[in-house]
Structure 1
Amino acid sequence: MLPSSRAPIVNQLVVYKVGSADETFGQTGIAHFLEHMMFKGTAALGPGEFSRTIRRNGGRDNAYTDFDATGYHQTIASDRLELVMRLEADRMDGLRIVEKELTPEREVVLEERRMRIDNAPAALLDEAVRAVLFGEHKPYGMPTAGYVDDVRKLGVEDLMAFYRRFYSPDNAVLIVAGDTTADAVHKLAEKYYGPVPGRSHGPRLRPSEGGINLPQRITRADRRVAEPGWSRDYLAPSYRTGETRHAYALQVLARLFGGGETSRLWRALVAEQRLALSASADYSASSLGLSSFGLNIHPASNRTTELESAVSEQMKKLLDGNVTTEEVERAQNRLLAAAIYAQDSLASGPRRYAAALSTGNSAADVEAWPQRIAAVRAADVIAAAQHVWRDDGLVTSLLTPGEDR
């Protein structure tokens, strides 16, 4: 329960501890497909009636699927919290999937993939990079949207079996943010989710190693590309897998090295050398398995070769120990400020807790995050970079204009 009395509204987020990384090759896309079918009716509600009921009561709802979790959320007036709990509990236990609804929704799912991935050269390259970095046909190496051939084969029984295995209150997290009380949430949760039976789910398995034969380089030429892109992606530990002691320092490293226009990469490549139009770094520790640390550069025209050498030079300076206490503190302050802003949002605040609680961390871990980030020192940042920035966990990728698709 995340209380906020700024406005008389609440956000309910139910997150199931299952995502696309829990799928097997041959049934990819099933977690995302099931997310769509969760809106197609129960014994009590007809197809689409869930969202129509929310809208009639002045609210809005949506859902998401990622590698480790699937979430369903509604934002509505505080006095309608009981309504959305009743509706969500109903489809937690009473979902009905019929061929009449599944067949057209399959085309919606496939069209979504076409729009977001097949028609986006950068997304296609990212899909190829993940397959190499994490291992082909392995968790995190398969796309959340699924492979087209797999999605076309999924049937009613496949989806219902996945639903029966993973969708129950003992495999879910309930987060309510907004203008209500913990006592009120507890009573409603007991009333509506309490009677729903639990199920046996089995262990969630994630490899402790990435792809084989690294480092590798991937180039994608596509006539739809207007400007080139260059990236480096490294295997990295998360809070739960690998050398987890580096997880907080890696967050500081990402902010210090590529977190905006004051970061090392931006200053060196964009402002000073003019080799790039933009430069950034990204890392998330909230993964049940291994994570990745990425460097993403938008090269200036015809400067890609020089750019790669310049990136390596900046990385070497940091790996050699050239990190000051002052720049670590600046990175920490920016991370902490972003977390404070996130807590003010009825959307991003719950998502922070959802990411932790669906991957084995606790609410206490979320609440201790500021202190753990503040405890990172320059030596920790250097050690984290030395652990992650290694060739045996690297995929370099280049997106270029071209005729091949």
Structure 2
Amino acid sequence: MKSDLLENFDNNDIYSIILCGGSGTRLWPLSRKSFPKQFLSLGEKQKTLLQLTIDRVKNLSPLQNRWLVTAQCQENLCANQVSQQIAKIIIEPEARNTAPAIALTAWELMQENPDSIMVILSSDHSIQNVRSFEQTILDAIKLAKNNLFVTVGIQPTHPATGFGYIEQGLPLDNEGNILSPQRLSETTPTGYSVRSFREKPNQAAAEQFIRTQKYLWNAGIFVWKTKTFWNAYSHIQPEAAKLIESINKYNISEVYKKLENIPIDIAFIEQTSHVACVPANFDWNDVGSWSAVRECFEQDSQGNNTSGEVFLLDTKNSVVHSTGPFVSVIGMENVAVVASEDAILVMPLNRSQDVKKTIQYLETKNPKLL
């Protein structure tokens, strides 16, 4: 059922493109290369991050306009979780980052509906307040209809060094026109021009970005006309575009591996003009650590986030998940205890980023646990 916000919204040309090829291990030991975090259920609702992502776009795109892009090794995982909720799964022969994945999808969409608008989303993010998410995407669609390449920016909550940043420029109205000071006093901007993109900064630069209040986190959410994108991409990346145009079901593996392994930001967004940014009106988290899991998902009266067969006594503000043995935690605070069939992780939540050191150890000592 559509919300009031979308009651008169014509979504026949709006395609939701969900990128689902990641192989992150930041939520190890539950997240593995063969079972990355988008397939995990981390909240009481028992829906996975991927399933929650699809739920968010149901009002934006009809079933026939929901596409998923994933790696060949994850095709069955995707089909098992969302087969009735999407119309098409595009299979990458191998992971080549977001630029090849998006370009391949855009070329297939050019054959089906060149007048379409692509709403490109990650499958492994947590977004609270679906109605605000819908409003943000609708604002982005308005700008995209005027041939702008639109990215969604997140208001920073701290000087993170792990995200890219977007520097906001001049305020824009619904049609992408710059708002004069007089009009700006009468109306709220739909978005902003983009002055620059900054890749993952050091701590000092990130703190400076926060102070200026002109920078947003780059969430990796993009909206644009398919035809406008393909024309620009073909100009900026002519060799890659020609390779993609030559792909058929017989040669895709051979051709795809020739494409550069590169994110869409560097391959396209940062090299083109007519880029706009819409500030997000929703809470966003890339769920990049176990401490983030506690922030994003349901907590009990003691501030604990749990799943699986667990028992807690006098334990507060902790994350306890098990897909394997029974786990009991007694008298602890601000810890993560995560158990799978073959591995257990125990740490203070403020050491969540150090999981990567476990991954580095396993890469040389026991890679089968990755």
TM-score by length of 1: 0.23
With a CA cutoff of 8 Å and minimum separation of 6, indicate the structure with the bigger relative contact order: 1
Q: Decide which structure has greater helix share.
A: 1
Q: Decide which structure has greater strand share.
A: 2
Radius of gyration: which is bigger? 1
TM-score by length of 2: 0.25
